[in-house]
Amino acid sequence: MKKITLLAAVIAAFTFASCKKDYTCECTATSGGVSISASTTIKDTKKKAKDACTAKNTTGVTCEIK
């Protein structure tokens, strides 16, 4: 019985560790001394949300998870 309980606890820990959450991706663009900010919400795992957010980085635009 203890082994089943321990196995269930381990499975539950892995299940909750990879759940999708809402992350805010904030981007700032600067040009000619003027700065503009925008944000979007990404619902995914933390790593995938961070990758999706930083993929938006281009010249003059910086995006990061807040």
Query: So what's the pLDDT on residue 15?
Result: 61
The pTM (predicted TM-score) of the whole model is: 0.65
The first and second tokens of residue 26, run together, are 């904030």
- Residue 59 in domain: yes
Structural domain harbouring 52:
20-65
The first and second tokens of residue 12, run together, are 């539950």
- Residue 5 in domain: no
Q: How many domains does the chain have?
A: 1
Chain CA centroid to CA 1, Å: 38
What are the pLDDT digits (tens) for 2-57?
777 766 666 666 666 667 899 999 999 998 889 999 999 999 999 999 999 999 89
